[in-house]
Structure 1
Amino acid sequence: MTAEKNQTQVERRQPLFRDLTAEDPEPEATEISSLCMNCGENGMTRLLLTKIPHYKEVVLMSFSCEHCGCRNNEIQNAGKTLDKGIKATLLVSGAHDLNRQVVKSDFTGVRIPKLDFEIPSQSQKGEVTTVEGIIDRAIAALEQDQPVRRIQDAEGAAKIDLFVAKMRALKLLDEPFTIIFEDISGNCYVENPNAPALDPNCSVTHFKRTKEQDHLLGIYPENEDAALLKPIKEGEYSLEDIQGEVLTFPTNCPNCNNPCETNMKMTNIPHFKEVVIMATTCETCGNRTNEVKSGSGIEPYGLRIEVQVKGTEDFSRDVLKSETCSIMIPELELDGGCAALGGRFTTVEGVIQATKEQIISSSALIGDSSDKDAVDRMNSFIGRLDSVLSGNTAVTLILDDPAGNSYVQSLVDDGPDERLKITRYERNYEQNEELGLNDMKVENYE
């Protein structure tokens, strides 16, 4: 009886952050009575914990006041801060660019260089909007105090009216303009209407935060240098002990954010190098993830690996993809970028299958508001991936890793593998900047 009761409790447990689906028609929303800042009466705020596909966990907040009709919607980040900041530069050249969906966090700054206009980070709350919506909200904020300003400062009000006219002219698209989104938390997303193909109008780069930016996010790294340099005493773990042990530490599930445990082990891949494998299993939602990180630093040269996938034997090749490695399939015009899939130890088939699953999950952003062509293009691309996985279409899988920490198994013991091409290259300045090498001092410490 007790076992049945425990089983029922496990079945009833739900993730804290759930997808909005038809199978979950009544999501758990919390209602809180709160003060209306417009009329001073009490209104109602509804909170919903959910996940935005291809983004992360968020808290949606909707306020409404039945007394004055005031309404307000906000979005707050509820997930973890990413390791690096993100900068997205979008060239707005058509109506489709104005209609792009944008996910902004509280730390997203927006700039329009053409007008020398900037919305500083933390000046607006996070939201899910469009490029046109950002411009409209900026115009509304500039016009908010204009009636009073025209009385007190007519000259200043006239300048603002002139600037607002320039903002409105942007939406007419008489000529293209650039809008830049920069987020130190890394939690900003600009829709790619050509997904899964490359976005010709938007370039995305990642950058390392400064100490001041870390402090702004509330990140204060612990001073562990002394502990790392401390000699190993009797009874403590040595490096050899760690390599032979599976270490366990508490964490949060990347899918539902419930507490769970991650297992970590250091191991050596034959003919390659030492890596750290981390596996997480969540008992609440059943999600399983594995991640691989290099255990021996950054190589002197970047690495580009090309694998011709022509049969089942190529699907079985072992693949180590580091977190800095990007995935490309030229025949499908696919470029996954370094953020795709993260670091993992799998096979060629596993890489392609995981890419398909990620594209399907990200295509949830293509909803009722998207045109039919975008939906048809996505379905067609997934069909082409299925053809590759079934062995009916031969493709070339390219792994490009500036850090040089990726690996693909050769099927030939002696001599070159005709279907495997490995090229090492000198990194450029941008790649070194992405890896944080340009500012790294390795000589003359004194």
Structure 2
Amino acid sequence: MIIACQLLVVLDATVVNVALPRIQADLGFGPADLSWILTAYTLAFGGLLLLGGRAGDILGRRRVFVAGVILFTAASLLGGLATSPGTLLAARALQGVGAAFAAPSTLALIATNFPDGTERNKALGIFSTIAGFGMTAGLILSGVLVAAGSWRLVMFINVPIGLAIAVLAPRFVAEPQRHSGQFDVIGALTSTVGMTALVYGFIQAATAGWTSSTTIISFAIAIVLLAAFLIDQARATQPIMPLRLFSIRNRAAAYLNMLLLPATTASMFYFLLQYLQDVKGYSPLIAGVAFIPLAVVLFLAARRAPKLLPRYGARPIMITGTALITVAIIALSLLEASSSYWVAVLVPTMLFGAGVGLSFMPLNMTILAGVDPKDAGAASGLLQAMQQVGASLGLAILVTAFNAVFNGNNADHASFTAGVSRALEVSAVFSGLALLIALFVIRTKKS
């Protein structure tokens, strides 16, 4: 049940990517607004993960897990029935809220049910394999569903899976011990609204310009609220993001890379899928199938990572994975409208898959190593919050970079491709920074 839930929430971070052109045509989304279909989900997901983790600690992780899955399932049904951009975005945001309360319990249940060491590493290996594979499986599944009928099937597919998890979880998942405490509502509100304002500011900059009053006000609100969030966390007796989690150098650095790497991966899927459909003329099904080699390589690399840990330790594996991601993104940034899939896309995406498969498991292990059981929910919630916020913030920045070059005419393939290349160049900066952190900041011993 734990793995099934993780697969469900990861799938929905990418499953709509292939369907974006169809959704845009059906519901009338503008080019800059299209990214909100992804961002509405990842922002609500990332912004409330910390509160979701805390809720699991206090109310019971299994109870919160099931409640989150039920809300996620209902929101998926609403999204499939949407007839306007506003309704779809509201449904995607509600999906994110449901995922935020279900997802922290997955890693927390692993952290509390498996002792630190070999057993936990095996469990995290399976978890990371499913999480990584789910990103690409979502693209393939989306292509199949859109080709089979409609983009709405991308939403409806969650309903039977979610209902099955909600019904079976109480029978197969044990309820860990609860911890007394209270909710840090101020922290949850300031972090969520602050991050939303920050992402909105970048997206507004892409359309209205950096000097627009809306852009400036959005950034000002973000700065004030995020500063208030940090002050609240330092003073709160039971914060949703205990600052002591950053007191260990390796964990703090791994959290930062959990922000940077998803900013890279989200952009690759978002822009490359539109390039394959809008520039190369691929159907949704063929665009999804084009990612099968990436998915296979990612799965094999993720399965291999836990076996390499005892021999080499976490750091060399995450360095190798991050380096592969960086090389792959640099290669993809060289795309032109006339580029061949077999040369310019296939090889870099396979390198990318190997990099993702090797990177995330040692990062998960580094973050959860030595975590006190009472902080398990907060630590796992913060881990996943970093992933989702990184994806949201990274995509907002890269959409801004894309629109700085793109002339707004989808029929102008040269301009569109130039925008994609610029966005991927900025994306390579994110992964390059993550590589430097892995090289010079993180210090780990062999398992």
TM-score by length of 1: 0.24
Normalized per residue, the structure richer in strand is 1
Q: Answer 1 or 2: higher relative contact order, Cα 8 Å, separation at least 6.
A: 2
Which structure has the greater CA radius of gyration? 1
